[in-house]
Amino acid sequence: MSQSQHVMHTTKIRKDPTQITMNVITYVLVTIFCICCILPFWMIIASSFSTEEAIRRSGFTLWPTDVSTYSYYLLFRSPDQMIGAYIVTISLAAIGTAIGLFIISMTGYALQRRDFPFRNGIMFYIYFTSLFSAGLVPFYLLMVQTLNLRDNYLAILLPLLMSPWLIVLMKNFVKAIPHEITESGKIDGAGDFKIFYALILPSLKPALATIGLFLALSYWNEWYYSSLFLTTKVEYRPLQFHLYNVINKVASLKNSVAGSNVVITDLPGETLKMATAVVATGPIILLYPFVQKYFVAGLTVGAVKG
């Protein structure tokens, strides 16, 4: 090895002590932060496999003292209902996210077009609805009497399709795309939808992933509209509302005379809530790693090198 190569090799492996210190501090802080994020969910899992007596005796711990799967038995004792709830929720999340992304992306693109004459008025109308609401009663009458959507899954699908905040977010994403891209499409003779589909939409992948995750989470966690519009006539209801009903039934059983034929102290309360949290949040957590990288990419979407 020549002297110059030796010097280059030595320079390459040499690290500044300050840089090493900063790296160590950063890794330690990130590790502590990750542990703080993981520990609560791990405690929920451990508590869901504990007995109610162990929770009352020792509180919530990182490891189950008396292992029990009774809470999961209560949740899955009607497998058809649980499977049906999952199918309904996954279907609503998939369909609602796809349609919502299509509508929100087109709306954000149209509101950002310089040649769209009514964009400021429409944007003000959208923003105005985020500040003021007519209230629950007019909304309920609209869905039940006007649209006749009682006991219909559309009553859950339609209200969550889009929101003013998501439209504004998409509009800001589209704003980062140079307007010259649209102009080049017009010069080539492409129509508005062709420009949107072929030129704009591919640049919006980070935005679509980010907003799609928000939409999917809103459908996955939905229970309020289900409680308003879905009665017992509907055989399968969304997952969150189904789990909510299971918890209420067990709580009512513990507080009623009907529970006199069983040992009330053995009925899970806190452990059932922990098992419900695991069943409700577990699947949706698996979706996040697939869209995580797009959150960082979304900060520089449409950036042009100078």
Per-residue pLDDT of the chain (306 residues; tens, 9 = 90+): 555 555 445 455 566 778 888 888 999 998 999 888 888 888 888 888 888 788 878 777 788 878 888 888 888 887 888 888 889 999 999 999 999 999 999 998 888 887 788 888 888 888 888 887 778 888 899 899 898 999 899 999 999 988 888 898 888 888 888 878 888 888 888 788 888 888 888 888 888 888 888 898 899 988 899 988 988 888 888 988 888 888 887 777 767 654 455 555 566 777 888 888 888 887 777 777 766 666 555 545 444 443
Show the domain range for 28: 3-48
Q: Are residues 43 and 114 in the same domain?
A: no
CATH code of the domain in which 182 resides: 1.10.3720.10
Domain presence at residue 270: yes
Domain presence at residue 305: no
Predicted pLDDT at 219: 92
Q: Are residues 76 and 44 in the same domain?
A: no
Give 73-94 as a DSSP string. Answer: HHHSSSHHHHHHHHHHHHHHHH
Distance of alpha carbon 82 from its chain centroid, rounded? 20
Domain presence at residue 232: yes
CA quadruple 109, 113, 117, 123: dihedral positive or negative? Answer: positive
Given a contact cutoff of 8 angstroms between Cβ atoms, the answer to whether 201 and 113 are in contact is no
Residue 36 identity = C
Q: Are residues 296 and 172 in the same domain?
A: yes
To 5 degrees, how large is the angle CA 249–CA 217–CA 75? Answer: 25
H helix and E strand count, the chain: 16, 0
Predicted pLDDT at 97: 92
Predicted pLDDT at 96: 94
Q: Are residues 212 and 90 in the same domain?
A: yes
Domain presence at residue 63: no
What are the backbone angles phi and psi of residue 50, rounded to the nearest 5°? -100, 165
Quote the number of domains for the chain: 2
Q: Are residues 18 and 107 in the same domain?
A: no
Domain presence at residue 108: yes
Q: Are residues 8 and 139 in the same domain?
A: no
Domain presence at residue 66: no
Predicted pLDDT at 103: 92
Domain presence at residue 59: no
Q: Are residues 12 and 81 in the same domain?
A: no
Say how many Å lie between the first and final Cα of the chain, rounded. Answer: 41
Predicted pLDDT at 93: 92
pTM higher than 0.85: no
Q: Are residues 40 and 101 in the same domain?
A: no
Q: CA 134 → CA 107, 137, 146, 192, 249, distances in Å?
A: 23, 8, 16, 35, 33
Domain presence at residue 181: yes
Q: Are residues 86 and 38 in the same domain?
A: no
